[in-house]
Amino acid sequence: MSSGNWFATSTISWFGSQADEVINNIARKIDPAPPTPSHIFRPDTVPSAMQEQVVPTVAEPLIRWDRRNPSYIFQHALSLGTARYYRDDANRLRRLHLPNMCDHVTYQYEIFAYGGINVNRLLRPHEYNFEHEIAFPGGIQREFIRSVRVYRDETLQTVTKNPYFDVYANPIRHVVPPTQLPGLFGSEVKLDPAEGQLSNPLPPHHEHRCRDVETYNPDEDWDDLMHGNKD
């Protein structure tokens, strides 16, 4: 299997073309270093708590919480900031810190994707073991997001399908037909782009930090070391 398949989900294009180098960099950060990429990424099949059976990795439903509206995420991706710092009004050095997810409106994105790193399996015991975190280096492209659940003050409001979801974006040997994926729950409705706008929007620097590949500008984003051509 091409090592680039591990990064099929990545919003950073050069992760796929420089896959061996990226994998080696990840391995060097893990103690003890995994002997092969298969010891870093999820195996081809995993036990699914929802379905109570072993399923192909692509068929395991994963979730990501985010403050960004699906009208943005479905057009772009679940891209991540690159740990840029900014100065607040008091000239203090800060990193972006999201408010508590249970306040106001939050979005639960449903992911079906090959690859991903099982954080608990690679890290020594830590205080967040219960979260069963799966990390996708480079973020998650929109084709791997099947739906979004919109919550307001912890109450489910709507469940909406992503029109760009495409199981065939996964590596060809690991494609699972849509009919073999677990079903959606809740009422499916068309989401008004204005629905669920935050009453306390994220500060302007958040959009700056979360720019995706399509809007990358080397003159404007000179401090963004993750996107572009890696040079």
E-strand spans in 180-230? none
Answer yes or no: is pLDDT of 164 > 70: yes
> In this predicted structure, what is the pLDDT of residue 168?
92
List helix spans (H) across 93-185: 119-122
pLDDT band at 87 (very low <50, low <70, confident <90, very high): low
End-to-end CA distance of the chain: 27
What are the chain's domains? Answer: 3-214 (3.90.210.10)
Give CA torsion, residues 191, 196, 202, 203, to 10 deg.
Answer: 90
Residue 172: pLDDT over 80: yes
* pLDDT at residue 145 greater than cutoff 90: yes
pLDDT at position 198, please? 33
More confident call, 94 vs 47: 47
Give the start-end residues of each E strand in the chain: 45-48, 53-56, 62-66, 77-78, 86-87, 93-94, 105-111, 117-118, 134-135, 140-141, 145-152, 155-161
pLDDT, average across residues 25-40: 77
pTM: 0.70
